[in-house]
Structure formats: C-alpha cells, structure tokens
Amino acid sequence: MNRFKNYFLPVILVAAYPVLALYAYNVEAVDAINALRPLMISLGAAVLLLLLFRLILRHWGKASLVTSITLIMFFSYGHLYSAAKQLNESTVSLGHHRIFAPLFLVVWLLLFWLIARQKGDLRVANQTVTVIAAIALIFPLFSMGRFLLNRSHTASAAVEQQTATLAAGGTKPDIYYIILDGYSRDDTLQDFFDYDNSEFLQALEDMGFYVARCSQSNYAQTQLSISSSTNMDYLQSIDKIYDDPQNTSRAALPGMIRSSTVRKFLEEQGYEIIGFDSGFSWTNLIDADFYLAPSVGSVKYMGMSGGANEFEVLLLKTSAGLLLADASIKLPELLKPDLSGPRRLHRERILYILDELPKIPRLPSPKFTFAHIVAPHTPYVFGSNGEPIGGEVDGVAAYRDQLIYVNKRVLPVLQQIIEGSETPPVIVLQADHGGVRTNLQDRMRILNAYYLPQGGEAELYPGISPVNSFRLILNHYFGTSYPLLEDTAYHSGYETPYDYTLVKDSRPGCE
C-alpha cells in the first residue's frame, strides 16, 4: 500500500490529468465514452513506464519521478510547440520539430541524469508531485461536475401541450424533420459562395415543396436552434437562464432536444420515434423507438475499437504525438497513426442516413423521423460527386462542392419518401443555421422547405422561421391552436451563446 501511495499514485494522477483536462475543456462537445480509451491507454502506459524505469534505475523513487516528468513533457509538447511557432522575435525559430524536438529530448535527458544521481528514496519529491497533480485535477473534475449539474437542469416548457383533434382528413401523416446542418439560403449561396441554387429549389417546388425564400434561423448555433424549433418557442421564453449573457452553458440543451415538446406531443398521438446517429450527442435520440447508426457493433460504436476518434486526434495533436501526426507523410505505413478515422466515420454517418431515409416509409405508421445530417457543414469530406476529400481545402470551394453533392443525394431521397408513403407525409427540410461564420445576416439565412399535403402549404409564408414550423404543422394536422410567434433571428457567438444580437433581413422583399 505504501509503494502504491508513494510511487504509483503520483504517476497515475499525472497520467490522468491531460486526458481529463482536455475532456473537461470540451465536455459539451465530446461524448465521455470517446475519452475512455485514451484515459485507459494513458494510465496503462504510465504504469508500464514506471516498471520499465524501475528496471533501469533499480529504484522506485527515481523511477516514479522520471515517469512523471516523462508524462508531463510528453503531454505538454504539442502546447509548447504551438506557442513556439507563434514566437517570431527570435532569430532562430523554434517552431520546427527538427529544432524543438531535439531541445525537448536534451532537457529530458538532463532531468533523467539529475534524478538518477540523487540519493535517498525521493519520497518527498514524489509526494509533492502527488499533491500538485491532485490539486490540478480538481479543476477538470469541477468542470465536469458543473456540466453534469447543468445538464440535470430541466426547463419547464413554456408551450402548453394541447389536445389533438385530427384535422386534414382525419389521418395521422408520417412526419420527417430533416436538418441539413449549415445549409445557407439561395441569396447567400450566390453572394458568398458564388453558387446558383435555383435548380435545386425549383426541383423541390416541382416535387410539391414550399420554399420559404425569406427564412432565417432563430439562432446561430445548432444546439440553440434545434432546441428552439423542436420545442416551438424561443429559448428566452422557455427558461430565464437562456436570457442571461453571463451564462455560457449548453449542458441542458441536449435534454431539451431529446425530450422536446414536439416529440412528447407526437408520442401521445401514438407516433413511433425514429432517430439517426448524427455524430453529435446532443441531437442523438438514443432512446427513440428506432435508433439507427452505421456501426452495429456496440464496442465499435462506443469508440473502444477502430481508428482514432475525434477526441483522440485532438489529444494526439496537443502532445508529443504531434511529431507522428506531422511526420505521417514520411513514415512507413506501419508506423503512421490512423488520423482519418473521424473523417471516415463522418462520411459513413452521412451516407448511412441518406441511404436509410428512403426505407423509413416501410416502418409502421404513424412515425416521426428526426434526421440531423451534418452537411454541408464542416468537416468537408465530399467532393461535388461524392468522392472523398481530405487535408487542407479551400473553405468556400469545399463548402460549395459538399453542398452540390448533398443536393444530388437529397432530391431522390425526398422523392422516394413521398412515393413510398401510403399516406402523403409531412416533410420539413431545414437548416439549423447558415454556412457563413463571419457575417451575421448570412449566418442566419437558411434553406427552409416544407412538404405539407392536404392543404398545409396554404398557411406557409416566405419568412417563416423554425420556431413556427411545428406550431403550424400541429395546428393544421392535429387541430391545435398554437399562435404563430414573431419570426426573429438572434445571433450570438460561440463563447457567449446567450448574448444576442437581433438580425434584420435586408433581402429585397424580406425586410
């Protein structure tokens, strides 16, 4: 027990800190399961290093201290290298691995030599490492605890559930909510991306869709936008915490999406819920009646096998693993780290959703299908004909090519859904926000198209926004009386999600 406390514990704490700190910093964007494998590898490697240095130095205290220093240097390399690249004052630039890595190695060898020459058991030194590492771990653990606390916050829906009295022929149509992430409106595509989208929009209209030519998103970020649309209300009306510019937490939003007002209403009407794996935990309806994902093996799906996941790639690039990542072109195939896993899986998810959506009409009705397709949003993994792309690409051209491919795939998918449905379905094809980051108006301008049979299209109008989509649909098909809200666009930055700027539409005829 004393050996564990004095020599193993400091090494374990030091090995755990970089993984937990990085996860805590990205806690709202990363599934915890994606951090489990690198945490296990880090802890296992730390113990093996300790035993190796014990064999070399024949001294537990020295081995523990050398292991801790090795881990600290390994996990800090990427951060220090990035900082060195930004220092331009020096006549000798350190921002090159051929200079920085040898210096790092020299420092490690010097520390190794100094520790090897020490006398005594070095218990105090290792205890100091234990205390420092334990204190450091408090901060990421606190962040994770705060996230869990915020996630448990349940907002009381501002929208009252109304009783349905079937209208429009007395049938319950299948409902499809298909979100094309970051799909900009046609005027933005023309002005910012130099792309004429009129052919796609005309094809939608020929198919029977109503295209809302003046539509804007209600919010500039995915979680805020979809939380609002699926709960049929503005976040500020749902809970006062979303009207606080000082609040930065999105932790409760995924729960609002999974247990939305729309979902609850439709479940009460006997609808089955169908969800797809989007790659983002906050829009994954994992408790749906049918949850469809491309990876059928639970272990692989959980991120415990296969290539590196997004979190592991990030961890690799902030550690000495950056050496392998940057040198992968020159390395033998056997030694190359598999960094393409996240992009490959992203492609598979999108292709899987597009392949499976036409099969949904075969499932028992009535059903509500929620499909969040993360395209044409980054990462850019499709060329204009669906070919894989990778590496550094021009953002404007890559976005345009990915959107062209999405157009090619979505049109036949929609046609097959319509033709394969016994009762004409309701389809909402909608973006959560636009694809432009730098311009407030273009960020808010979105594709927004509706297939509302049995007279539903008569109630649509050019400026309808996502917050009113399901108010209108439930009113027409289920006889509810939800009043339509004013269509308002609230822009906010990622760091301050609830510090809003009101965005007016300047498109002629949309003011």
Among 101, 118, 151, identify where a domain stops.
151
Could you count the other beta carbons within 10 Å of the beta carbon of residue 27? 21
Cα–Cα dist 229/432, whole Å: 9
Pull the structure tokens for residue 275. Answer: 């969800």
What pLDDT, on a 0 to 100 scale, did the predictor assign at position 299?
A: 37
Could you count the other beta carbons within 10 Å of the beta carbon of residue 501? 12
Among 121, 151, 181, identify where a domain stops.
151
Position 200 in a domain: yes
> What region does 479 belong to: left with phi over 0, alpha with psi -120 to 50, or beta?
left
Residue 155 has what DSSP assignment?
Answer: P
122 & 224 share domain? no
366 & 497 share domain? yes
In 3D, which of 204, 273, 283 has the Cα closest to residue 250? Answer: 283
199 & 111 share domain? no
CATH number of the domain that residue 335 is part of: 3.40.720.10
What pLDDT, on a 0 to 100 scale, did the predictor assign at position 187?
A: 94
91 & 181 share domain? no
114 & 35 share domain? yes
Q: Which residues contact 212 (CB under 8 A, 6 or more apart)?
A: 448, 449, 450, 460, 461, 462, 463, 464
**Residues with pLDDT less than 70, the chain:** 1, 87-95, 152-170, 295-308, 324-341, 391-392
Q: Which residues contact 391 (CB under 8 A, 6 or more apart)?
A: none
What pLDDT, on a 0 to 100 scale, did the predictor assign at position 298?
A: 37
Number of structural domains, the chain? Answer: 2
DSSP states along 433-469: S-S-SS-HHHHHBB-EEEE-TTTGGGG--TT--HHHH
What pLDDT, on a 0 to 100 scale, did the predictor assign at position 267?
A: 95
Position 384 in a domain: no
137 & 188 share domain? no
Amino acid residing at 399 = Y
Position 81 in a domain: yes
The C-alpha angle with vertex 127 and arms to 122 and 130, in degrees rounded to 5, equals 135
> Backbone phi, then psi, for 276, in 5-degree steps?
-120, 155
199 & 133 share domain? no
Position 476 in a domain: yes
Q: Is 106 exposed, middle or buried (0-12, 13-18, 19+ CB in 10 A)?
A: exposed
Pull the structure tokens for residue 312. Answer: 């592991």
Cα–Cα dist 449/501, whole Å: 25
Position 382 in a domain: no
3-state secondary structure 124-144: HHHHHHHHHHHHHHHHHHHHH
Q: Which residues contact 378 (CB under 8 A, 6 or more apart)?
A: 182, 395, 399
Position 477 in a domain: yes
> What region does 360 belong to: left with phi over 0, alpha with psi -120 to 50, or beta?
alpha
Tokens 């070095």 found at: 122
89 & 198 share domain? no
31 & 123 share domain? yes
Position 509 in a domain: no
Cα–Cα dist 397/384, whole Å: 10
Residues spanned by the domain of 70: 2-151
Cα–Cα dist 262/162, whole Å: 11
What pLDDT, on a 0 to 100 scale, did the predictor assign at position 330?
A: 52
Position 124 in a domain: yes
412 & 265 share domain? yes
185 & 80 share domain? no
249 & 312 share domain? yes
